[in-house]
Amino acid sequence: MTFKISDFKSQIDRLGGPMRQSLFEVQIVNFPVNTSSVTTRDLSFFCKNVAIPGITMGLNSYEAVGQQRRMYPTSLNPEPVQAIFMLDSNHQILSFFHSWAQRVVNYSTYCNWIEDNNLTPYVLVRAKSKGLSIPDRFENNGKIVLNISASATADRLINNEIISFKARFNGKSQKIIVPCEAVMSIYANENGEGMLFDNKGISSDKGDKKPSLTILD
């Protein structure tokens, strides 16, 4: 069969032409974070690159007596979408994604999961954070560890904005208020497994650092 450039071009044109990386627009809809400083249009303009996710097929095998070993599909495994965004000079886009990551974590559900496994939930807190109300004399190297289990607290409230409860320190009841931005980690005291927050984030306009999220096994 003779190859012709015209045939190749007609086949490409029939499918709309080759895909070009510069002909895409990324849109994030149903914003998970309420913000007036960053819009969906901002993210579209600042998105530098997106890798179109692939999909792999999970396989298993069986081998009957006297037969050739055969493979059969068991699952379809989509790969994650990876996007690279340019940063603005005020780091508002970075702060947006940090806030989004924080809202992915449901502190209350995770705390309940720890207790459901007969473990004790603890939080490691940055002691010099804005809006924090803790007993200063229990601070150690700018940090404080708090037992937030139901058995050790009263009037406990846990959401993605704040952790508050009443607890006794040296026999005296005290109201504890911990903004979630001050939480460095939440973990089970018995085995140390939990969620760690890296406090090397970019400072906001007010100087508070925004933690980024790392999930520990």
CB 188, CB 122: distance < 8 Å? yes
Cα dist from 116 to 27, 106, 110, 111, 147, whole Å: 39, 15, 10, 9, 16
pTM of the full structure: 0.50
The DSSP 8-state label assigned to residue 31 in this structure reads: -
Would you state the pLDDT for residue 217?
36
The contacts of residue 79 (CB under 8 Å, 6+ apart) are: 53, 54, 55, 56
CB within 8 Å of 160: residues ≥ 6 apart: 102, 103, 105, 106, 107, 180
pLDDT computed for residue 139 by the predictor: 81
Residue 156, pLDDT score: 93
Distance, CA of 192 to CA of 199 (rounded, Å) = 18
The domains located in the chain, with CATH, are: 16-86 (no CATH), 102-215 (2.30.30.220)
Q: What's residue 33's pLDDT?
A: 60
- The series of mean pLDDT values per 10 residues for the chain, 217 residues long, is 80 81 74 67 83 87 72 87 87 80 73 91 88 81 91 90 89 88 89 71 36 36
Nearest CA to 145 out of 100, 182, 90 is that of 182
Give the pLDDT score at 201. Answer: 34
